[in-house]
Amino acid sequence: MSYFHSVTLQRAKCKGCTNCIKRCPTEAIRVREGKAHILEERCVDCGECIRICPNQAKVAVTDRLERLEEFRYNVALPAPAFFGQFGRDVDPGQVLGGLINLGFDHVVEVALGADVVTAAIRRYLREHPQPRPLISSACPTVVRLIQVRFPSLVDHIIPLHTPMDVAALLARRQAREQHGLADGDVGTWFITPCPAKLTAVRQPVGMTLSEVTGAFSMAEIYGMMLPLLAQAPEGGELQQASAHGFGWGRAGGENQAIGAGALLSVDGIHNVIALLEEVLRDRLGDLDYLELQACVAGCVGGSLVAENPFVGRTNLRMLTERLGATGPGFPEEAAVRLLAEAPQVRGPVEPRPVMRLDEDPARAISKTEQLERVLESLPGLDCGSCGSPHCRSLAEDIVRGRAFETDCVFKLREQVHALAAEMLELAHRLPPAMGQRDEGEDGADSNEA
């Protein structure tokens, strides 16, 4: 299968440094012939390499705003994190109005989708005592991370639509019911904090087709909108989401919205990995629900977000407080009905194991044995000079035929050293025609041709 990825490499800018290979949580990057390469089947679009690359060679490909021309009616779907870009002096209504000013015909807040999903999660937790803990499906990086690095945990992912998908459903329904528009005339555009969400739109997991048309970078939209904000029409009537819905944009907000149960929230992909190891070892079975976000501070920390993640987080928290908790939120019955009416149910997530060394189990065993042997012979410094992130991954690459032992600079030196010693040895041996032979050596054969 071929994979779409929003995260891509601009080859010309890559200097072949090894910053990204060390940071990648799925060991999906190698440096070969002086340039980084992304292993498509392992990349989870987390954006860590975008953040760390000193040369801006890693970029997130998002849609261009010109694509609005392709549709008769365009709906903006701002992520909750978008509202964290603005301070106390800006109301959600102004932000929504600003989006209309940018050229959208309508806005449906993803925070409203979050209200719907919150209600559906509460119901699901009550009706399904197993498995535990369940894991939020909202962050597409986490879902993909589980597919490739924790394939045995896919059944822990709650099989519910994400707030983004629900917002798109609501937008399409409104366009159909109020304007009589056919699906093909309606563009639904997510304003995304991260490349992963664009990947989720283009290549959804657990569904065949997303209701979302495309995604615009949050930082780009923010930049375009700022100068227009002052003259934005008051979009107060566009605001439908509850205070808690906006909270989904920051770490802890989803759990706060759900309210009841043994809930745990973890942010930052390396922290998420450490926690999933514990889930895998079955040590967290007394927890009900895990809100896991790949980005530090939550979606406000996405790699396409303009504002500082921690400022964004506080902005959102204060927004929730300012709006005040609004009762029970979206009615559960209505939420469940809405999700049931979706053209596609959200199916189970398929595991996507990437570690297997060979299709044939017996050969895979031999290769794993070889891998352990090679690893034993490597210096264990994990220096990355070979272009693989760790000695272990170089050993894996060697066994897979993608690298050589001499790619390790220390191995290479060892071999050069041995070779030099051998040459020196040879240099001391004079050809028979030049010096005298030692007595008795090879004497018997001396007459043969």
For residue 295, the partner it binds in ligand SF4, other proteins, none, with Cβ less than 5 to 8 A by kind, is ligand SF4
Q: Is 39 in the site for other proteins (CB under 8 A)?
A: no
Q: Is 407 in the site for other proteins (CB under 8 A)?
A: no
Q: Is 396 in the site for other proteins (CB under 8 A)?
A: yes
Distance CA 33, CA 403 (A): 11
65: which residues sit within 8 A by CB, 6+ positions away?
102, 103, 216, 220, 221, 224
| Region from 38-46, 81-89, 292-300, 365-373 binding other proteins, contact rule CB under 8 A | 365-373
For residue 372, the partner it binds in ligand SF4, other proteins, none, with Cβ less than 5 to 8 A by kind, is other proteins
Smallest separation (angstroms) from ligand SF4 to the CB of 276:
14
Structure tokens at 300: 């406000």
71: which residues sit within 8 A by CB, 6+ positions away?
185, 186, 187, 213
Distance CA 9, CA 13 (A): 8
Q: Is 347 in the site for other proteins (CB under 8 A)?
A: no
Angstrom distances, CA of residue 369 to CA of 27, 43, 375: 21, 26, 10
For residue 321, the partner it binds in ligand SF4, other proteins, none, with Cβ less than 5 to 8 A by kind, is none
> Which class for 354: exposed (0-12), middle (13-18), buried (19 or more C-beta within 10 A)?
middle
| Region from 55-63, 204-212, 364-372, 419-427 binding other proteins, contact rule CB under 8 A | 364-372
Distance CA 392, CA 245 (A): 43
Q: Is 159 in the site for other proteins (CB under 8 A)?
A: no
Smallest separation (angstroms) from other proteins to the CB of 357:
5
Give the CA dihedral 403, 404, 406, 409, nearest 10 degrees. 20
- Answer for which of 61, 264, 357, 412 binds other proteins (CB under 8 A) is 357
Distance CA 19, CA 33 (A): 16
The number of angstroms, rounded, from the C-alpha of 315 to the middle of its chain's C-alpha atoms is: 24
Q: Is 356 in the site for other proteins (CB under 8 A)?
A: yes
Structure tokens at 403: 């690298």
Tell me whether residue 362 or residue 433 sits nearer to other proteins (CB atom): 362
Tell me whether residue 193 or residue 387 sits nearer to ligand SF4 (CB atom): 193
Structure tokens at 154: 């896919």
Q: Where are the beta strands (DSSP E) in 161-220?
A: 186-192, 214-217
Q: Beta-carbon neighbour count of residue 353 at 10 Å?
A: 12
Match 């010096």 to its residue by tokens: 435
Distance CA 328, CA 332 (A): 9
Tell me whether residue 36 or residue 292 sits nearer to ligand SF4 (CB atom): 292
Smallest separation (angstroms) from other proteins to the CB of 1:
14
Match 């799925």 to its residue by tokens: 26
- Answer for which of 101, 203, 314, 368 binds other proteins (CB under 8 A) is 368
- Answer for which of 179, 363, 417, 437 binds other proteins (CB under 8 A) is 363
Q: Is 367 in the site for other proteins (CB under 8 A)?
A: yes
Tell me whether residue 220 or residue 288 sits nearer to other proteins (CB atom): 288
Q: Is 366 in the site for other proteins (CB under 8 A)?
A: yes
Subset of 269-308 contacting other proteins (CB under 8 A):
277, 280-283
Dihedral pair phi/psi, residue 87, rounded to 5°: -80, -170
Tell me whether residue 359 or residue 448 sits nearer to other proteins (CB atom): 359
For residue 353, the partner it binds in other proteins, ligand SF4, none, with Cβ less than 5 to 8 A by kind, is other proteins
The number of angstroms, rounded, from the C-alpha of 304 to the middle of its chain's C-alpha atoms is: 12
Smallest separation (angstroms) from ligand SF4 to the CB of 102:
21
Tell me whether residue 146 or residue 232 sits nearer to ligand SF4 (CB atom): 146
Please say whether the beta carbons of 301 and 267 come within 8 A.
Answer: yes
For residue 70, the partner it binds in other proteins, ligand SF4, none, with Cβ less than 5 to 8 A by kind, is none
Smallest separation (angstroms) from ligand SF4 to the CB of 86:
17
Structure tokens at 218: 């949050």
β-strand pairing of 214-217 with 186-192: parallel
SS3 189: strand
For residue 355, the partner it binds in ligand SF4, other proteins, none, with Cβ less than 5 to 8 A by kind, is other proteins
Q: Beta-carbon neighbour count of residue 216 at 10 Å?
A: 24
Please say whether the beta carbons of 242 and 113 come within 8 A.
Answer: no
For residue 369, the partner it binds in ligand SF4, other proteins, none, with Cβ less than 5 to 8 A by kind, is other proteins
Distance CA 117, CA 247 (A): 13
For residue 357, the partner it binds in ligand SF4, other proteins, none, with Cβ less than 5 to 8 A by kind, is other proteins
Binding site for ligand SF4 (CB under 6 A): 139-141, 193-194, 196-197, 293-295, 298-299, 302
For residue 371, the partner it binds in other proteins, ligand SF4, none, with Cβ less than 5 to 8 A by kind, is other proteins
Query: Interface residues with other proteins (CB under 8 A)?
Result: 131, 151-155, 277, 280-283, 350-351, 353, 355-369, 371-372, 396
